[in-house]
Structure 1
Amino acid sequence: MAEEQYDLVILGGGTAGYVAGIRASQLGKKVAIVENQLLGGTCLHKGCIPTKSLLKSAEVLHTVKTSSLYGIDTDEYSINYSKILDRKDEIVNQMYTGIEYLMQHNHIDIYNGTGRILGSSIFSPRPGTISVEYENGESELIPNDYVLIATGSQPADLPFLKFNHETIVSSTDLLKLKELPKSIVIVGGGVIGMEFASLLNDFGTDVTVIEAGESILPNENKSVVSNLKDHFAKRGIKIHENVLLSEDNIKINNESIEINNKELNVTADKLLLAVGRKPNTSDIGLNNTKIKLDSKGFIEVNENQQTAEQHIFAAGDCIGKLQLAHAGSKEGTAAVEFMFEDGSIPVDYNSIPRCIYTHPEIASIGMTLEEAKNADFKKARSFKVPFKAIGKAVIEDAEHHDGFCEIVVDQSTDSVLGMSMIGPHVTELINEVALLQFMNGSTLELGLTTHAHPSLSEVLMEAGLKASKRSVHA
């Protein structure tokens, strides 16, 4: 038994967990985090950070390949993939060291073991005490006032297609590969699949994407998706939509994968299974509580991140909302502030940016025009500004991509309902729109804000002006 009771015990030291822990510490609370792997979770070790490191190397390589468009002739170049991996690992280690320092600086106790929620007993009238089991078989009990479940998620497989971590691989497996595959089939056209399709193509891998649904990236603006598909086609990335696979048309060999059905016939060295992520909610003691799970195993919470047990909260991938690191941070912070402060602001998912780090990049926030109309915004209208109208974008993009920014406006209130962009560095530009949303700004305010010239962000100013019928360049 821990020597003293904690105000908060957090199951999981990923982004949602450690950020929530820091916020609770800032409020003067005694906090413990239980983590059975490394602090930083999927984002730092198996997702956001290592993937974006590879994407940066792919971006540099793409620039080298197209350098003649900028007046720089490069006769020879080579890919040192070992060095690319070393750089990735150095970045991850640097960020990990930083998180360890933050835990010490904020006086957060770390228990390196597997945590489970215990039920009520003669020692506790309600469930919530955490049992920590260590690798050596020993265990320890941690009493607390509140629990935050932030156990994250892991790559999902299919009933007829399981990971063998050799030819059938997950995104985690790909990050560990010491050599690039010559060819790969990516099953799943979501964000993870598209980012790996982009970076592997830049590295010279032959890429085929298979999506069971009507379209890749089904939650994004249709014009944006169509634009990305055109770019991918020009780069040689093959995308097959509306293709349902089964055990009968997949042959797994020792060193390759064969897919044969009426729609396509393809053989590849590897198959990346990118069909989503499943929550880490089994074997954490939920059976000892009243906590409810949805049909996919995600924890059900209210707008304040509370579960059916009022003193137990949940945040991050395990609740199945946006499944983004920054969304998890927001959820964890909101949960802590509801626990320990008189008031808190529930998470507004329409104000959280969504970014896809392909080439070209995609970023969005809020609703598309179709979603706005379905939500009964009768005076919703969209306005589009092409990046070719923005001088800095033309300078940045010698390939003359036809990217654009599309703003969705409620004309009855002049408020921004959403924004979608595809083009250079839009994953940075979207944060200005997030601030606009947080401050409840209008399209006119966006348009009248002076933006530096030349800069990519002028596309946002032009979008605001266009919605206000005052556009200059678009």
Structure 2
Amino acid sequence: MGANAHGTVQEWDLVILGAGPGGYVAAIRAAQLGMRVALVEKDRLGGLCLNRGCIPTKAMVKSAEVLLTAKKAETFGVRVEGAAVDFPRVVARRQEVVDGLVHGLEQLMRSNGVQVFPGHGAVLRDGTVEVMPAGAAGSGGEQERVALRGRRLILATGSQAAHLPIPGADLPGVVDSDGLLALDRVPERLVIIGGGIVGVEFASIFHAFGSKVTILELLPSLLPVADQEISRRLATSFRRAGIEARTGVRVEAIEAQPGQTPFGPPKQVHFTDGQDRPGTAEADVVLVAVGRRPAYTGFDPGELGIEVTRAGIKVDDTMQTTRPGVYAIGDVNGLSPLAHAASAQGLLAVEHAAGRKVRPWGTSPVPSAVFTFPEVAWAGLTEEAAQAAGIPVRIGRFLYGALGRAHVEGEPEGVVKILARAEPPDEGEVVGLHIIGRGACELIHEGVLAMRFGATAEELAEAIHAHPTLSEAVGEAAHALVGLPIHMARR
């Protein structure tokens, strides 16, 4: 313990602000390495991902998948009468899953000796973190504050939803992802502004539950960060399912209409296309899913001498900021808006802080997994990125329609696409894997491993894949890339 203007200050090896998938993973690894760790969190352990993001949405994806399977059960020789969504039960199960995992994290913190400080943390100029316990504001004064000082500090405060500065954005029933998860019933009409990962996942979920879904995307394609061939296939799949996706349109305003729904007045979303032609979409609920921005919650980067860019806090390849001893991980640094990236950065930052030899950020590709129907996943370079970087590539593809397991599953729609370098000295090295189809979010890790260890497409083809499995599609795509496809006709 020490004392200064803050009163008694607790001394720690590491203080972490934020207990999302970056912060709590960093806390566990630091404790494993023998550090005394203080973890500050104003909400529940697990952060946005566990409580209002990755996990609750995937619980809803599973409910939607069960419903869709039940509706086509006769295809498999099974009769299911009257399959329908019980949305309150969907919500209840979702919360049961979340609560169970949060409880598990609480046990993990205790078993690893991590001290959790529930409350709002504020980083002072000297690096001390003051914590106002949750619910304590105004109930007793300064003595309720706890002051923490660490030899190292990790900022893991995540991100917050970006908002559209347009008329009508504050109408009842215009929500962000948190607001959509708070609904107690399925809207008849859902307009989603933004065709990125969040937008297309919610489109799949609520369409399965019975909503008429319209997506409005500013850029020319759905999932703009994905390989464009995969994006086009997803758009085709959505169109066949009955999801309307309008791309290359700019939303101008949201206007209330006469009448009332359980979500406020009916709404009309006004937009213009690339030729400035006007259009409208009707909605009961409007989801604004136009991205997220770093949340500098509890600190002022400038006051701390921490440099920021348009993307977020500037860090080096070990996650250290421009202030020595202070690290920034996850969404707050803007490198990758994915939970597993935050976790990997947390491990990297802690091991660097502990003086261990580390592999710098960027050594392994970060996979993206999109839980739509069908799933989409990718890792490494897209075909467009390879062209822009001047990297000649060869491409191998394998269609799910030629895959036995896909037919057994009743889902023969999809493709695996592999990119490999076309010229020496690294000719044949896998640089990208892109998948749309059942199981894509699991299969993508074959590509991650291949790229992490510099494997070639030929080596991937030589790896024996069990039959009948979905993973055979990856091996078959590799065979196609080297010019020796087995279950597809050669061009």
What TM-score comes out, normalization by structure 1 length? 0.93
Distance change in 2, residues 1:161/1:35 (3 Å):
farther
The one of 418, 426, 429 equivalent to 1:407 is 418
Change (3 A) 1:202 1:301: same
Q: Give the Å deviation of 1:70.
A: 2.3
Structure-2 residue corresponding to 1:381: 394
**Cα deviation, residue 396, structure 1:** 1.1
Residue equivalent to 1:317 = 331
Pairing of 1:65-464 with structure 2 (within 5 A): 65-119=71-125, 127-134=126-133, 135-137=135-137, 138-160=144-166, 164=170, 166-247=172-253, 250-251=255-256, 254-261=264-271, 262-295=277-310, 298-348=312-362, 351-378=365-392, 380-398=393-411, 400-401=412-413, 403-412=414-423, 413=426, 414-464=428-478
Structure 1: stretches of 5+ with no match in the other structure = 120-126
2:274 is aligned to none
Letter in 2 for 1:408: L
Q: Distance in 2 between matches of 1:312 and 1:299?
A: 11
* Distance in 2 separating the partners of 1:44 and 1:416: 33
Residue 122 (structure 1) aligns with = none
Query: Matched residues, percent identical?
Result: 34
CA contact (8 A) 1:369 1:381 kept: no
- The amino acid that maps onto 2:127 is G
Counterpart secondary structure, 2:192: strand
CA shift for structure 1 position 61: 0.9
Secondary structure of the corresponding residue to residue 136 of structure 1: coil
In 1, the alpha carbon distance for the partners of 2:128 and 2:404 equals: 59
Q: Does the CA contact (< 8 Å) of 1:281 and 1:299 recur in 2? A: no
Q: 1:22 to 1:161 in 2, by over 3 A?
A: farther
Segment drifting more, 215-224 vs 136-145: 136-145
Q: CA RMSD in A?
A: 1.8
TM-superposed deviation, 1:245: 1.9
* Superposition misfits of 4+ residues, deviation over 6 angstroms: none
Partners of 1:163 and 1:306 in 2: how far apart? 37
User: Does the 8 Å CA contact 2:61/2:371 hold for their aligned counterparts?
Assistant: yes
Q: In the superposition, relative to structure 1, how do residues 162 and 31 fare at CA in structure 2: closer, same or farther (>3 Å)?
A: farther
Shift of 1:467: 2.1
**Quick check: 2:396–2:479 contact (8 Å CA) kept in 1?**
no
Distance in 2 separating the partners of 1:243 and 1:335: 41
